[in-house]
Each structure stands twice: as C-alpha cells, then as structure tokens.
Amino acid sequence: MDDNKYIVFALAKGRLAGQAMELLEKTGITCDEMKDKDTRKLVFVNEELKLKFFLAKATDVPTYVELGAADIGIVGLDTILEENRRVYEVLDLKMGKCRMCVCGPESAGELLKHRERIRVATKYPVIAKDYFFNTKHQTVDIIKLNGSVELGPIVGLSDCIVDIVETGSTLRENGLKVLEEIRDLSARVIVNQVSMRMQNKRITEIIDKMKAEIDQ
Ligand code: PRP
C-alpha cells in the first residue's frame, strides 16, 4: 500500500462526467481545476487528496482501467458490456438510467416475431449479437455503425436497430418504436483489479462514500 500514490479516475466524457463529479463533490472528493470550462487541460489534480481525474471517450474508459492507467472508472453499463474488459464492476451509481432496446418501424415487429433473418444496425455489436444469438436464438446480420443509428431503418440500411433509449424522443421524432427491451442500463463504477488489491483501503473508502451518498 502506498499513500503517496495518486488514485486516478477516468470519467466518461459528457453529461455523465458532470453528474459523477457532482456526486463525488458531495462526498468531499473535489477537483476545482475541472470546473474551468475553458481549460484545454486533460488531467486534473487534487494535490491535497492525492487524486487525479481525466475525461476520456466512454468506450475507452474500460481500457484505461483494465490496463491500470486509471484505478477507478465511471462509465455506462452499455460500454462495460460492449467492451468486456477485465475490471471489477463495484457500484451502480443509479444515474444515467436508460434502456438497451431493439427499435424500428412498427412493421419490423413482424420480422422479429417470425425470427426472420433481419439486418440490425448498432453501435453495440457485442450486446446485439449476444441478445439475438444467445437469448433469442435468431440469426441476424449485424451492421456496426458509430452514431446516429436511427438512420439505419429510415434510409433502408437495416430493418431495425439495437440502441439506447433514454427519453424516447429520438425514436418518436423519427417514426420509430421500441420493439423489444434488452435490459436496463445505468452508470457504474469500475476498478482496476490490481489497484483493488494494492490500494484497497483508499479505493474502498471512496466507493463506500459514494454508496452512502447514493443510498441517502
Ligand atoms: C443516444 C442513443 C440515441 C439517443 C437516445 O445517442 O444512441 O440516439 O441518445 O436518447 P433519447 O431516447 O433521449 O432520444 P447519442 O446522443 O449518444 O448520439 P449518437 O447516436 O450520435 O451516438
């Protein structure tokens, strides 16, 4: 155990990072440097508490944590399942709640029901394959996209999509519907497996504080 070592947090960029920092602040884990909106800095430090924070693309957070560049990561369960990295998932932050769903035009419902060989566009090929092949036992063709997945059925690239639904407004505005629900999602805390052993006291303290705040 080394109390002079920094505990490094990797936070998924975007709305989640803001919410996660708010939660951490309530537990006394603060980082004033991060509040400067104009900064081009990538790594933020709290010298007093020996903490470092950096923002990364969500899909990269599990990579940083698995390889030990960060001790603790905060990222959505969708990304954790898709990336399938060797990390400990230790806490459900109960924020960033949404659902992973099969969506499409109403007409695609029939294709799903009759287990037709359909084309499925998604940013989440691992999750989509697992759902169709292992849970539904349906053969489908998965088309990997990197964003604006709702375009798939609209422009005729795919029959349906597997994607995140939060408020449902993207679907509504594009004439698409939730056809099947795959699972509920939320933001999670992940920990590097070696850090969990070597920095157990400090990391457990941080996790416990966050948990206490969530349970309030
Ligand atoms: C996500 C998701 C949906 C949308 C769902 O996309 O892929 O498109 O949000 O949210 P809603 O149900 O509240 O409308 P994101 O904004 O991350 O952009 P992207 O599709 O370009 O990745």
Domain boundaries, the chain: 7-96+186-215, 98-183
Q: Select 7-96+186-215's CATH number: 3.40.190.10, 3.40.50.720, 3.40.1190.20, 1.10.10.10.
A: 3.40.190.10
- CA-to-CA distance for 155 and 72, rounded, in angstroms? 40
Closest CA to 186 of 61, 39, 21, 16: 16
User: Is residue 140 within 8 Å of 198, Cβ to Cβ?
Assistant: no
Question: What confidence tier does 84 reach under pLDDT thresholds 50, 70, 90?
Answer: very high
Question: What confidence tier does 212 reach under pLDDT thresholds 50, 70, 90?
Answer: very high
Asked which of 26-40, 50-64, 68-82, 177-191 is least confident by mean pLDDT, the reply is 26-40
Ligand 1: distance of its center to the CA of 161 in Å? 12
> Pocket around ligand 1: residues whose beta carbon is below 6 Å from it?
147-150, 163-170
Ligand 1, atom nearest to 172 Cα: 14
Residue 159's SS3 state is coil
Ligand 1, atom nearest to 14 Cα: 17
- CA-to-CA distance for 113 and 187, rounded, in angstroms? 31
Percent of the chain exceeding pLDDT 90 equals 89
Q: Select 98-183's CATH number: 3.20.20.140, 3.40.630.30, 3.40.190.10, 3.40.630.10.
A: 3.40.190.10
Ligand 1: distance of its center to the CA of 144 in Å? 15
In this prediction, residue 156 carries a pLDDT of 97
Residue 58's SS3 state is helix
Q: Please determine, for residue 70, whether its predicted confidence score (pLDDT) is greater than 60.
A: yes
Question: What confidence tier does 39 reach under pLDDT thresholds 50, 70, 90?
Answer: confident
Question: What confidence tier does 115 reach under pLDDT thresholds 50, 70, 90?
Answer: confident
User: Is residue 28 within 8 Å of 209, Cβ to Cβ?
Assistant: yes
Which one has a higher pLDDT value, 30 or 135? 135
In this prediction, residue 22 carries a pLDDT of 93
Let me know if the fold of 7-96+186-215 is the same as that of 98-183: yes
In this prediction, residue 3 carries a pLDDT of 60
User: Is residue 12 within 8 Å of 75, Cβ to Cβ?
Assistant: yes
Question: What confidence tier does 2 reach under pLDDT thresholds 50, 70, 90?
Answer: low
Ligand 1: distance of its center to the CA of 30 in Å? 29
Q: Please determine, for residue 30, whether its predicted confidence score (pLDDT) is greater than 90.
A: no
Ligand 1, atom nearest to 166 Cα: 12
What single letter denotes the amino acid at residue 134? N
What does pTM read for this prediction?
Answer: 0.94
